[in-house]
Structure 1
Amino acid sequence: MSRRLRYNLDALDLARSLLGQYLVRKQGRHRLSGRIVEVEAYLGPHDLASHTAMGRRTPRNESMYHGAGHAYVYLIYGMHHCFNITAGRPDTGAAVLVRAIEPVEGVEVMRQVRGEVRHRDLCRGPGRLSKALGISRDLDGDDLRHSQDLWVERGDRLPDERVICGPRVGLGQAGKWVEAPLRLAIRDCLFVSAPGMPQIGFNDIRTHEFALK
């Protein structure tokens, strides 16, 4: 039985299922990995904070429309790569941003590119994570179900009480979607990139207006 995660879920459920799983990057003879501890769901064209808001479709965001289980990698500030996993059916335009992982394998390789930073800071934030794992636009569009370079392996599913939710980080003009509690993290985890988020339980957002759209 494959240890790889199945991705055929909508963005919110995929975000929930990713917590506690292992992001794996293969670079030559090196295997780098970490436990996923923080993610953000972007629900599709109706989500005004999404790159596909109002049906926007460009060469930059085309991978978001590939359907569940593909890498969507984009560059911000001309220097930081952000790694997402697409969700839903083809042409849905939804994805989950992986914001932080707890490093597990290949830590010394990560330090070669990240420098002498605290262990908890190696992959704490989407730009740091991508730099530590060598994720760039070259991986944009990769099918994570079959890729030999990047994939997610199954870990333990966390009970709902271990998951907290809050607003996503660094959003611009997105109306009420700025406050949507679509950032999910493992409760009391030191490796979360932006601690101090509200202690909203995952079960409480299942019936939230944003999750139902």
Structure 2
Amino acid sequence: MDVEDLVVEPTAAARRLLGATLWSGDVAMRIVEVEAYGGDPAGPWPDPAAHSGRGRTARNAVMFGPPGVLYVYLSYGMHTCVNVTSGPDGIASAVLIRAGEIIEGEEEVRVRRPAARTDADLAKGPGNVGSALGITLGDYGIRLFDKESPIRLELGPEIADPSAIAVGPRVGVSLAAERPWRLWLPDSPAVSVYRRSPRAPRLDRPA
């Protein structure tokens, strides 16, 4: 399995990443929750909630390809969020890694995440994923399928049973808030809690 498996529309790429293993040094995490994001109106997957929704900038440039590249940004100025670019070169899309299960290097992760109460809490939520894996803004642009990379992505077998994957709206976005682009493995205790943005349109009003 390689980077070409991700050159698909955003939710298909997100689905493909569930169950994959993300390595950062000696720490390995099984991905159990993701969110798909598209790009600007000129592309095939317009997405006003995406960082690339208004076009290319210095911050979001890697979202425009090639696929399989690490896109890292700070949320609220302190939480490092980890994304995998997807789609063909030149067209913006990426998948946010929202949660995972630590399967190697737990002792190292516990040093980084002393506030985690249980194993399931170590990488629950996108900010905690970045902390658990020790990923920083300096890792922006790393090619995740390069065997020499300090951060590597290994795709496992594709999940064939659609009922094994749960689907729902993305967390915390105020635009395109109803779009069912969050996917997760419902049997994992590491999946984060859904929180709707208070800035999103009310459900009893037209979006």
TM range (shorter): 0.7 to 0.9
Q: Percent identity?
A: 39
The yes-or-no answer on 1:40 pairing with 2:42 is no
Counterpart residue number, 1:205: none
The yes-or-no answer on 1:108 pairing with 2:107 is yes
Q: 1:178 to 1:188 in 2, by over 3 A?
A: same
Return the alpha-carbon distance in structure 2 between the equivalents of residues 23 and 4 of structure 1.
13
- Given residue 43 of structure 1, which amino acid in structure 2 is its aligned partner? G
Return the alpha-carbon distance in structure 1 between the equivalents of residues 57 and 93 of structure 2.
14
TM superposition score normalised by structure 1: 0.82
Name whichever of 12-21 and 140-149 sits farther off: 140-149
Please identify which structure carries the higher helix content. Answer: 1
Partner SS state of residue 6, structure 2: coil
Return the alpha-carbon distance in structure 2 between the equivalents of residues 101 and 187 of structure 1.
12
TM superposition score normalised by structure 2: 0.84
1:148-163 mapped onto 2 (5 Å cutoff): 148-158=149-159, 159-163=161-165
**Is the 1:4–1:151 Cα contact (8 Å) retained in structure 2?**
no
Return the alpha-carbon distance in structure 1 between the equivalents of residues 12 and 33 of structure 2.
14
After superposition, the CA RMSD in angstroms is 1.8
1:70-85 mapped onto 2 (5 Å cutoff): 70-85=69-84
**Is the 1:12–1:43 Cα contact (8 Å) retained in structure 2?**
no
Per-residue CA deviation, residues 86-141 of structure 1 (Å, 9 max, x unaligned), is: 01112211000000001100000000111152111000011101001011111111
**Is the 2:34–2:182 Cα contact (8 Å) retained in structure 1?**
yes
Please identify which structure carries the higher strand content. Answer: 1
Counterpart residue number, 2:192: 193
Unaligned regions of 5+ residues in structure 2, if any?
Answer: 41-45, 197-207
Partner SS state of residue 177, structure 2: helix
- Given residue 86 of structure 2, which amino acid in structure 1 is its aligned partner? A
Counterpart residue number, 1:166: 168
Partner SS state of residue 82, structure 1: strand
Q: 1:72 to 1:107 in 2, by over 3 A?
A: same
Partner SS state of residue 124, structure 1: coil
**Is the 1:124–1:193 Cα contact (8 Å) retained in structure 2?**
yes
